[in-house]
Amino acid sequence: MKLGVCVPYRNREEHLNMFVPRVGKHLKEQGIEFQMYFAHQVDDKLFNRGATKNIAAKHAFEDGCDYIVWHDIDMIPEEGADYSFPKDNPIHLATRISQMDYTLKYHEYFGGAVLFSKEQVEATNGYSNDYWDWGMEDDDLFWRCHLEGYTDDSYLNVPFKKKKYLEFDGEKSWAMIPNNRKYKDLTSKSHTISILTRAYQQPNKIPVHLIGSKDTGYVEFPILRIPGYDYGISFNNSRALSLQYWNSFNQHNYMWLKRYDGQWSWVTVVIDQSTNLSHFYLNGTEVDSKAGHGSESPWKYNGKLKKYGNKKIYLGTTPSVSEHDPSKFFKGAIADIKIWDRALNTEEVKNIHKEYSTEGLIYKFNIDSLIKYDIKEVTDTVKVPNSIIPYRRIARFTCLPHEDEGLVNGKWAKGETTAKNERRYVLEMQKGTWDYKSDGIKQVKYELVSEEKLTPWAKILNIKL
């Protein structure tokens, strides 16, 4: 099996001089037959990493390579990085990089070094040719893999067949759990709330909030609310499930976890007054901020929790805003809610979808007992997906020093060009309106200006787009 090492290149001569010998030595030590292709964009257009990667891959396959690795020039493999053939699925290699203290850059990260067979490239059509300057071409490739069934899409191991749930229309649907003295001051002490929900964006009210958005603010659509200084669980227009609560000094605490539209999610909130810690879980697993999956959890809050004399618990709405406020109503579904007047431990939360403790259980979801307004009741199978992630081989990489062109101080370093790429990816590719079969390696157009032989096993392709 021959490997094509396919690298986008422009103005990185120092990195090139380090990459060729060091990566070459690593592959030779593994006994891998290989050829390196550096697609060097020599025109005066904005750099296009996706198109240059496609061009390098085309030449690799034309030269008889059986598989490729799309590789960043600033990523140097350390001992043990396995570049062998990706048999069943594309494989993400750059999982532990020095730039991130040898942790994963973010949960869905699919850059640095990714292995593809020829068949997998043909199925996904490689990279898009329409992302210019910096950003999103790796994410786009990851989503192509997802659409082609090449990602690690797992589910909670208990499907809920013929599950009865409530659907909220985002316009006027809401419900309320009947008053009960057990709920009084519930959130001012240790407690746990667990909810099985599916949420949708509401672009007719407010656009999806992106990093590059200039005018779009955050909006929290209420899934569960105790009104006043609203305590509750929400889905926001930044595509995240969130928790907000307050202490007795009216200080706001906020936690979040990334989640796509239309995914059933088992969200659990645990607040422990004895330790002043709040925990946020998705499908029984605590949020991992190091992997870019959400905010820090557990979160240390100050002082005591705020007391609420109100015993009313609202679902799908909040009385704290006006009827015309875009955050008034939630669009989605609720299939289960359980509430405890104690802090569940990690093991109890982990198994909450299969079995649950009755110790301290003060509320169990009962659709018939709810006060409901304009709500549709549905019975259907509910499957709860875990986060979509690439197939990976754990490998360590040294990241060569370079200027950060990505997210800097909460903004895109490249400004509007990256913001445009972000909109293309989130609002078109992920929404299914971009035809990736007509935009990729099969459609890439370029002029081959010349070739330069660096070594017997490495060459530069000087190209214009």
Whole-number Å distance between alpha carbons of 188 and 340? 13
Contact of 188 with 307, CB cutoff 8 Å: yes
Nearest to 65, CA basis, from 463, 459, 452: 459
Select the more confidently predicted residue: 217 or 138: 138
Give the pLDDT band (50/70/90) at residue 392. Answer: very high
What is the secondary structure of 332-364 as a DSSP string?
A: EEEEEEEEESS---HHHHHTTTT----TTEEEE
User: Which tens digit of pLDDT belongs to each residue from 149-171?
Assistant: 999 999 998 878 889 999 999 99
pTM of the model: 0.91
315-367 confidence digits (pLDDT tens): 999 999 999 999 999 999 999 999 999 999 999 999 998 889 999 999 999 99
Residue 203 has pLDDT above 70, yes or no: yes
- Please say whether the dihedral angle defined by the alpha carbons of residues 149, 151, 152 and 157, taken in this order, is positive or negative: negative
Cα-based torsion angle of the residue sequence 73, 74, 75, 77 in order, rounded to the nearest 10 degrees:
90
Please give the pLDDT value at position 291: 61
Residue-wise pLDDT tens digits, 31-47: 999 999 999 999 999 99
Encoded amino acid at 147, one letter: L
% of residues, the chain, pLDDT over 90: 83
The answer to whether the CB of 2 falls within 8 A of the CB of 84 is no
Measure the CA–CA gap between 174 and 429, rounded to whole angstroms. 32
**Is the model's pLDDT at 311 over the cut of 80?**
no
3-state secondary structure of 96: strand
CB within 8 Å of 128: residues ≥ 6 apart:
50, 137, 140, 141, 429, 434, 436, 439, 440
Chain centre to alpha carbon of residue 9: 28
Burial class (CB in 10 A: 0-12, 13-18, 19+), 75: buried
The strand pair at 2-9 and 67-71 is best described as parallel
For the record, the structure tokens of 49 come out as 């990493």
Between CA 113 and CA 403 the distance in angstroms is: 19
**Calpha distance 365→427 (Å, rounded):** 35
Q: Are the C-beta atoms of residues 79 and 13 closer than 8 Å to each other?
A: no
Least confident residue range of 137-151, 228-242, 304-318, 441-455 = 304-318
Percent of the chain with pLDDT over 70: 99
pLDDT digits (tens, 9 = 90+) for 403-432: 887 777 778 888 889 999 999 999 999 999
Average pLDDT over the chain, rounded to an integer: 94
Give the model's confidence band at 215: pLDDT under 50 very low, under 70 low, under 90 confident, else very high: confident
Q: Is residue 197 over pLDDT 70?
A: yes
